[in-house]
Amino acid sequence: MPKPRAQQVSVSDTPFYHVISRCVRRTFLCGEDRSTGQSYEHRRLWIEERIRLLASVFAIDVAAYAVMSNHYHVVVKINPDEVVHWNNDDVLERWCCLHKGPPLVQRYQRGDELIPAEIRRVVQYADTFRERLANLSWFMKCLNEPVARRANKEDNCTGHFWESRFKSQALDTEEAVLSCMAYVDLNPVRAAIAPTPETSEHTSIKERIAPQFDLAEAIQSQTAQHALNNFTVPLKPLLGFEGVIRKGFQRGILFGFEDYLTLVDCTGRIAREDKRGAIEENMLPILKRLNLDPDRWCERATQFETTYNDYRCHRRRAA
């Protein structure tokens, strides 16, 4: 018998989860309808952008994702301690960029004069929204519902778009996290959609290694695109690879990025009877294909974090 969602997600035991949502339509989430020839490929970008937007609003980091023709995968890390440091105004602003918000909260944000009882009620709303912004179920609700409404409007129909709410799998060890991330990043290769991980569109591994990725411009362009309800959301980077174990708090993944690329490349070369695709054996190793220099990558990764933090500080000063 399936367990209730509250029993499946326990952040105190593990912060990492593998989440899957599957489409119920014959025409699928993306891809091409063979009967009509109509293409739905543009919907992949809907999912990808929504995942990255919500990760920037919620106290949830994205470690890996892949958007396929009739389903998508996301590997997330929930950070409940992060919301503790957000003040009530930050919480209300984040929540109301996704939802209209109660009338009382709207009055508070406009600067209307409120009586003490109303102020206390606003604080209660903030406490409720703070919990939701570190909740996986609310993250998935805010991801799937807008996509379903948008797809139904495009298809001029009503009814269920997703097969079910979502399926989640706890990743309780570093080995589980890495193997799941590799599985997600290799989905297009296994489906014979792409020959290599670096050519897999709408995946986290493509985002991590795309050579044309301009950090400052990407952050600014994404920020401009994701202005919701007068709130501009800076793009949060994908969860980083920290490489080594150190004392104190560690936010990222305890593995080196080059080692992870090698792991994905080696795993992708293993042919499976139940999968159509695999990386060809005669291909060069991924590090040689990418011409990835360790020093250059380290500098680039550092610049990404610095650029993101500088832009976020600039936005706060401007506000």
11-52 tens-digit pLDDT: 767 899 999 998 876 556 666 666 666 777 888 888 888 898
Mean pLDDT across 55-74: 92
Indicate whether 20 and 95 sit together in one domain.
no
Number of domains present in the structure of the chain? 2
The pTM of the full predicted model, rounded to 2 decimals, is: 0.80
Indicate whether 145 and 96 sit together in one domain.
no
309: in domain: yes
Indicate whether 165 and 108 sit together in one domain.
no
Indicate whether 149 and 218 sit together in one domain.
yes
Share of the chain above pLDDT 70, in %: 68
pLDDT at 208 over 80: yes
Indicate whether 92 and 79 sit together in one domain.
no
Q: pLDDT class for 318, splitting at 50, 70, 90?
A: very low
Choosing from 77, 98, 132, the residue where a domain stops is 132
In whole numbers, what is the pLDDT of the chain averaged over residues?
78
Q: What is the pLDDT of residues 262-300, one digit of tens each?
A: 888 888 887 666 666 677 766 666 666 666 555 554 554
Indicate whether 128 and 246 sit together in one domain.
no
Indicate whether 153 and 116 sit together in one domain.
no
166: in domain: yes
8: in domain: no
222: in domain: yes
Q: pLDDT class for 228, splitting at 50, 70, 90?
A: low
2: in domain: no
Q: Domain range spanning residue 178?
A: 13-86+133-318
Mean pLDDT across 186-213: 82
pLDDT at 218 over 60: no
Q: Where residue 268 sits, what CATH number does that domain have?
A: 3.30.70.1290
53: in domain: yes
Q: Three-state SS across the chain?
A: CCCCHHHHCCCCCCCEEEEEEEECCCCCCCCECCCCCCECCHHHHHHHHHHHHHHHHCCEEEEEEEECCCEEEEEEEECHHHHHCCCHHHHHHHHHCCCCCCHHHHHHHHCCCCCHHHHHHHHHHHHHHHHHCCCHHHHHHHHHHHHHHHHHHHHCCCCCCECCCCEEEECCCHHHHHHHHHHHHCHHHHCCCCCCHHHCCCEHHHHHHCCCCCHHHHHHHHHHHCEECCEECCCCCCCCECCCCCCCCCCCECCCHHHHHHHHHHHHCCCCCCCCCCCCCCCCCHHHHHCCCHHHHHHHHHHHHHHHHHHHHHHHHHC
pLDDT at 303: 46
pLDDT at 28: 61
pLDDT at 62: 95
pLDDT at 226 over 50: no
6: in domain: no
pLDDT at 133: 96
Choosing from 115, 132, 149, the residue where a domain stops is 132
pLDDT at 245 over 70: no
Indicate whether 112 and 185 sit together in one domain.
no
Q: pLDDT class for 253, splitting at 50, 70, 90?
A: confident
Indicate whether 72 and 95 sit together in one domain.
no
Indicate whether 120 and 252 sit together in one domain.
no
Choosing from 132, 151, 166, the residue where a domain stops is 132
pLDDT at 43: 84
pLDDT at 292: 58
Indicate whether 164 and 99 sit together in one domain.
no
170: in domain: yes
Indicate whether 200 and 264 sit together in one domain.
yes
Q: pLDDT class for 123, splitting at 50, 70, 90?
A: very high
